[in-house]
Structure 1
Amino acid sequence: MKKLLFAIALLWSVNLLAQKKDATPKTYDLLIGTYTTGESKGIYVYRFYTETGRTAYLNEVDGVDNPSYICVAKNNRFVYSVNEIGADRKGSASAYSFEPKLGKIELINKQPSTGTGPCYISVDKGQKHVFLANYQSGALSVLPVNKDGSLGAAVQTIQDSGHGVNKSRQEGPHVHTAVLSPDEKYLLYTDLGTDKLNIYRYKSGQDKPLSPPEPSSFDVVAGHGPRHLAFSPNGKYLYLVTEMGGVIYVYDYDGPKSKQLEAISMLADGYKGAVGAADIHISPDGKFLYATNRGDANEIVVFAINPDNGRLTFVERKSSMGKGPRNFVIDPSGNFLLVANQMSNDIYVYRINKQTGKLTLTTSKISIGNPSCLKFTPAE
């Protein structure tokens, strides 16, 4: 009798595990932000299949000014975008309703970004605020999120000041990204113009949710121009890519007490071309880091991550197959990497070798005007 009960319990456990495995989404919605100064009309939605890397067009929302960066709310019902407008006009942020099963996306409202040239947007898990990086004016803005998903007027704006050593690129502050720490106790944002990585405490219930700790910033090498950030899946390490230096900084993350572990170049030995490092992401299993370099390189650089100390070891560099690999994304299954080449109007799909981290180009490709941001969200 005991053997029979054990067998039944074992069978139940196996079935439960199989159900959990089958519950993992096999299809996702791929949302594509673009610049609308060319052939693009706005934000596009494609269906993505994680077993094959195949894509299929679903929907789009037109008439949106330069939705160059987007983010998706945790409940999967709302999407937010910047409207990246230059120095001569004020920028804004837009809220959209989203139906993942159909890929349907519709504009809800817009709000001023309280700055110019907003280039990055993120939203907290509780859907209380969105955070905007205004590149041109060098300001970070906080906008509240209403219960219906719409955006309210900005409740806080942090204006950076200063300049860097590169007179043509660092004549003033240029805020480039705004990323919440995994526990959402801190918001980190980069300033390309002043060569600083800034960190602020975040408390969603306060009228002004951001406040500076001590210290409130970290310096990088003058002229490197910090751009984008990525946390390791376990939250222990923070990785920063610098646009003008083509260098990745590795930090032992501990809020304002974080310590730099190393700085490693993503450039090939003897490289003399233009540098335009752009985006950085880590595989879902935490084993590999990927970063893109635009300029004259137009490539994706792969590093292995040491699980004991977070340090990086070069693996390979791979052509992005186009010009201006501004942004890329790794699908949640970890099987594929998609890179958006802004200047050549295309998105290429690579299969990831989960043992080596190396990339293999597939036959999947999306032709779309000036793609600049890729985001995945469950379709099921």
Structure 2
Amino acid sequence: MMTPKTSGAFILLLASLFAPSLAAQEMLYLSSGDAIEVKKVNDQTGALTNVQKVELKGISVFTFSHNKKFLYARALINGKRKQNSIATYTVSDSGRLTLIHNAPIDGKTTELKSDASDQFIAGADYGKGAVSIWKLDNGVYKGELVQQVKLEQKAHAARFSPDNNMLFVPATGPNKIFQLSFDNATGKVEQIDPALGPQKGALQPRHLLFHPTLNVAYSTQERMQPGVAIWQVTAGGTLTLSQTLTNSDDTTGRITNADLHMSPDNKFLYISSRDQQKQFDQIIAYKIHPTSGQLILVEKFASEHFPRSFTINKRGDFLYVAGQKEDKLGVYQRDKETGHLTKVEQYNTGKNPIWVETLILESKEKQ
């Protein structure tokens, strides 16, 4: 006859045998040296273990589909310098990548982002000053351009709104964020409001990020002076400027801000700041007000040289910084209470590490 103690142990045993696993492996993906490296993240130390390296000429910035089944990367067709492309990779349950298609695009894009339905992918062409929307065929880019809209040179990024009804294009040189309505059934866009840009303080919007619970968005302001901007999202889905904060007095273009990410608990915003002279390469931390979304500077943390891209792991314990002009990847432990960063490791990378992201692979296996 079972006692309460043994019956409790038996129930726990059954649960361990038949319940789905709660374990979820996080992987890191790094683009450098005409390759994407796949690495396993140690969730206790942040250390990385090599898993795979996929090579393709010209491979550069990339993004994941929302369903985590595909990775899309800007690359080249057959190594031709002027024939840019979008390469589609499948992501296996183990996180490994398999190239399944590589189709051309007109021009090139500084970034890629898929819409919430995973039916379209968008990118901004910095040189042309245009934004393009391409069709995905069952998750695969096969070469179909839906629309290309001419804006202004130095269009730097394309960001879909959380409700998937808008597409925003920050442009550094013209100091604007272009606002376009997005038809998520056809992929068509139309500019509906004048482009926005602050008139003083931190200028030149580069990257854009939406707060997941507040009607607030943030943009890195690249230069003249570099900083960060806070935007209110209106009921109609457009943006209005709320606040700008400079984080450097530089007006020469020596120091420029690049990437930005929010901690998973929505308490901190981090931005990367680059210094041509290697003295003030930094990750800058801000505390986010829980109801207004306004920012307060926390601290500036020295980083690898020219941190164009960085990422926070999905559990929020570690931050990974790609030093583009140093060929290094830094690992920093995050204090979740203070937002402070402590460097714990550094790895050599291929030439020109240009993009880094992590992905959590949910386990479907039984224990």
User: Could you tell me the TM-score, scaled by structure 1's length?
Assistant: 0.82
Q: Is the 8 A contact 2:214 2:291 kept in 1?
A: no
One of 16, 27, 30 as aligned partner of 1:29: 27
Q: Which residue identity does 1:261 align to in structure 2?
A: S
> Which one is further off, 54-63 or 255-264?
255-264
Provide the rounded CA distance (Å) in 1 between the counterparts of 2:199 and 2:154.
16
Match of 2:344 among 362, 376, 380: 362
For the residues of structure 2 that align with 1:106 and 1:128, how far apart are their CA atoms?
A: 19
The 1-side partners of 2:227 and 2:172 are apart by 13
Quick one: distance in 2 between partners of 1:235 and 1:50?
29
Shift of 1:330: 0.6
CA distance in 2, matches of 1:276, 1:151: 35
CA distance in 1: counterparts of 2:335 and 2:177, whole angstroms: 32
- TM-fit CA distance, 1:356: 0.4
Aligned partner of 1:140 in structure 2 is: 131
Letter matched to residue 190 of structure 2: S
Work out which of the residue numbers 319, 326, 330 in structure 1 matches 2:308.
326
| TM superposition shift of 1:257 | 4.2
- Tell me whether 1:231 sits opposite 2:213 in the alignment: no
Aligned residue for 1:375? Answer: 357
How many residues are aligned here? 341
Q: Is 1:315 the equivalent of 2:290?
A: no
Aligned to 1:342: 324
Q: Which amino acid aligns with 1:262?
A: Q
Select which of 195, 202, 215 maps to 1:217. 195
2:163 is paired with a residue whose SS is: coil
* Residues 376 and 158 (structure 1), Cα distance of their counterparts in 2 relative to 1, 3 Å cut: same
Q: Distance in 2 between matches of 1:119 and 1:271?
A: 24
1:143 and 1:151 in contact (8 A); partners too:
no
Partner of 1:154, secondary structure, is strand
Residues 247, 84 of structure 1: CA spacing in aligned structure 2 closer, same or farther, 3 A cutoff? farther
Q: Distance in 1 between matches of 2:251 and 2:147?
A: 42
Distance in 2 of aligned mates of 1:220 and 1:271: 15
Task: Note the alpha carbon deviations across 1:223-261, whole angstroms, 9 max, x for none.
Answer: 932111111121421001111231211012225543222
Q: What amino acid sits opposite 1:151 in the alignment? A: K
Which of the residues 110, 118, 128 maps onto 2:103? 110
Q: Say yes or no: does 1:189 pair with 2:169.
A: yes
- 1:84, 1:340 → 2: CA distance? 22
- Of Structure 1 and Structure 2, which has the larger fraction of its residues in strand? 2
Residue 24 of structure 1 deviates from its aligned partner by 5.8
- Give the drift of 1:373: 0.8
Cα drift, residue 92 of structure 1:
2.6
Indicate the residue corresponding to 1:169 in structure 2. none
Deviation at 1:317, TM superposition (A): 0.5
1:265 aligns with 2:246: yes
User: Which ranges of structure 1 fall in alignment gaps of 5 or more residues?
Assistant: 35-39, 162-172
- Give the TM-score normalised by structure 2: 0.85
Q: CA deviation at 1:211?
A: 2.0
Match of 1:101 in 2: 94
Could you tell me whether the CA contact under 8 Å between 1:249 and 1:263 is conserved in 2? Answer: yes
Partner of 1:298: 281
Q: Could you tell me which residue of structure 2 aligns to residue 198 of structure 1? A: 178
Which residue does the alignment assign to 1:164?
Answer: none
Residue 309 of structure 1 aligns to which amino acid in structure 2? S
How far apart are 1:144 and its partner, in Å?
Answer: 0.3
Of 40, 48, 68 in structure 1, the residue corresponding to residue 60 of structure 2 is 68
Counterpart Cα distance in 2 of 1:147 and 1:271:
47
| Contact 1:238 1:253 (8 Å CA) reproduced | yes
Quote the sequence identity (%): 24
State the one-letter code of the partner of 1:242. Answer: Q
Q: Distance in 2 between matches of 1:272 and 1:190?
A: 21
Contact 1:118 1:132 in 2 (8 A): yes
For the residues of structure 1 that align with 2:247 and 2:62, how far apart are their CA atoms? 26
Q: How far 1:298 sits from its partner (Å)?
A: 0.8
* Distance in structure 1 (CA, Å) of the matches to 2:238 and 2:349: 44
* One-letter amino acid matched to 2:98: I
SS at match of 2:357: strand
Deviations 1:82-101 (A, max 9, x none): 2389xx93533222222240
Among residues 208, 220, 235, which one is paired with 1:241 in the alignment? 220
**Matches of 1:205 and 1:141 in 2, distance apart?**
16
Aligned equivalents of 2:141 and 2:237: distance in 1? 32
| Structure 2 residues without counterparts, runs of 5 or longer | none
Structure 2: how far apart are the matches of 1:279 and 1:133? 15
Paired residue type of 2:213: N
Distance (Å, rounded) in 1 between the aligned partners of 2:251 and 2:135: 45
- Residue 170 of structure 1 is matched in structure 2 by none
